[in-house]
Amino acid sequence: MKIKLNLRKLEHFKNDKNFIELFNKGIDFAEEIEKDSSIGFTELPDTDIYVEKAKAVAEKLPEGIDTLLVLGIGGSALGAKMVRDCFKEFLNKELIILDNVDPFTIHEIAKKINPEKTVINVISKSGSTVEPISQFKFFYNLFEVELGKEETLKRIVITTDLVKGNLRKLADELNLLSLEVPENVGGRFSVLTPVGIFPLEFCGIDTKLLLKGAQNLKKNGKEIAVTGAVLDYLFYNKGKNIKVLFIYSDRLYRFGEWYLQLFAESLGKRVDRDGNKVKIGATGVLAKGVTDQHSQVQLYKEGPDDKFFAFFKVNKKVDVLIPESFGEFEGFSYLNGKTFSQLMDAECEGTMQALENEEKPLILYEIEEIDLEAMGKLIYLFELQTAVCGYFYNINPFDQPGVEEGKIIAKKLLGYN
């Protein structure tokens, strides 16, 4: 396994009767989730059909494209952003992911891209989200003015539901290139569908390796996902209503952003499956190691006992020696001959021990090495863990009714009835 869950001071939990009972229940939940055909994310690691479909669409696009502009938000953007920023070295095209409507950013991108060499990929499962739709109107116009309608239409790929929604209607009417978001996969679980697969594959990422990693986790790593879910559930019930992800890797930082959406939208719910008002869900917080040791750790160590910590560390890193400059200078000499990797590991260990000394509950995910397979494993691991945790809470982890009201009000303010 390239990902190991180290329970550190919580290792004793494994012998706890309550933990064992919950763990067994969690394994049953995981199996139930994987068997349920209305839940589609669990099927994705076992098929490369979307990779093939992405390749087929790519072949139909004009030659000489050097930029892909993704217009999408939330689950339609965060997965591709996470993989793109982790594997920049594999990209053979620029992959721009616009997931905001800040006019400043829109203007910056408009100035930068060359429409002739750019493909627009509009991604929206519902096909009606205001952000990608407004962005699409803008960039369509920009392209049309410069290239004319015919050339513009050749540079558009729509990723949306196979039959439903406005974008599907438009794609059909204008005969645009399109890909589907499977009906049974929600946005935040969709990185291994064309939502993530097309932009990544088109820009040079070998997405089959992501699938391979996810498949491997599905076969061999259920215990890690279930252990994580049990601990999330147990510590939430013990009043730890904040979960801090402390990620000691710049490359993995966006994994944290992706996970925060998954965690928040899946597990933050007002009612349970029986209709009881429960108002449940921990708050996810992201911290970057070592940077945020110097901004957040004071609170984590001495502040309220309301947090559960998950640390992430990469064992094998590119190593860079800290040279012996100023070697004679007493205050700096302890760094002679050390590497940045050693420094980062020591700081990670130091922070964990300092928190443990204060009895703060903490677990550590050790990633042997970052590669596409390990990323695929992380994706499936945390999707499954989140779903299983939702089952412990007895809530539906696959809906997000709370997001709707704000959207409706915003649309009304813009004159939509």
Ligand X SMILES: O=P(O)(O)OC[C@H]1O[C@H](O)[C@H](O)[C@@H](O)[C@@H]1O
Q: Which segment (70-78, 146-154, 217-225, 238-246) binds ligand X by CB under 6 A?
A: 70-78
Task: Write down the catalytic residue from 60, 294, 359, 405.
Answer: 294
Annotation marks residue 212 as catalytic: no
3-state secondary structure 3-16: EEEECHHHHHHHHC
- Pick the closer one to ligand X by CB: 75 or 182: 75
Are the C-beta atoms of residues 348 and 247 closer than 8 Å to each other? no
Annotation marks residue 407 as catalytic: yes
Options 110, 162, 174, 403; binder of ligand X; rule CB under 6 A: 403
Annotation marks residue 360 as catalytic: no
How far apart are alpha carbons 266 and 400 in whole angstroms? 7
Are the C-beta atoms of residues 13 and 22 closer than 8 Å to each other? no
- Pick the closer one to ligand X by CB: 283 or 342: 283
At its nearest, how many Å lie between ligand X and the CB of residue 127?
A: 7
73 lines the binding site for ligand X (CB under 6 A): yes
Q: Which residues within the stretch 76-135 sit at the binding site for ligand X (CB under 6 A)? A: 76, 124-126, 129, 132
At its nearest, how many Å lie between ligand X and the CB of residue 393?
A: 18
187 lines the binding site for ligand X (CB under 6 A): yes
Q: Is 113 left (phi over 0), alpha (psi -120 to 50) or beta?
A: beta
At its nearest, how many Å lie between ligand X and the CB of residue 295?
A: 29
Q: Which residues contact 351 (CB under 8 A, 6 or more apart)?
A: 246, 289, 290, 293, 297, 311
What Cα–Cα distance (Å) separates residue 158 from each residue in 166, 178, 199? 11, 4, 11
Q: Which residues within the stretch 130-169 sit at the binding site for ligand X (CB under 6 A)? A: 132
- Pick the closer one to ligand X by CB: 265 or 373: 265
Q: Which residues contact 295 (CB under 8 A, 6 or more apart)?
A: none
394 lines the binding site for ligand X (CB under 6 A): no
Q: How far is CA 32 from the centre of its chain?
A: 23
How far apart are alpha carbons 48 and 70 in whole angstroms? 22
Q: Given the rule CB under 6 A, which residues bind ligand X? A: 73-76, 124-126, 129, 132, 187-188, 265, 400, 403
The residues carrying an active-site annotation are 265, 294, 407
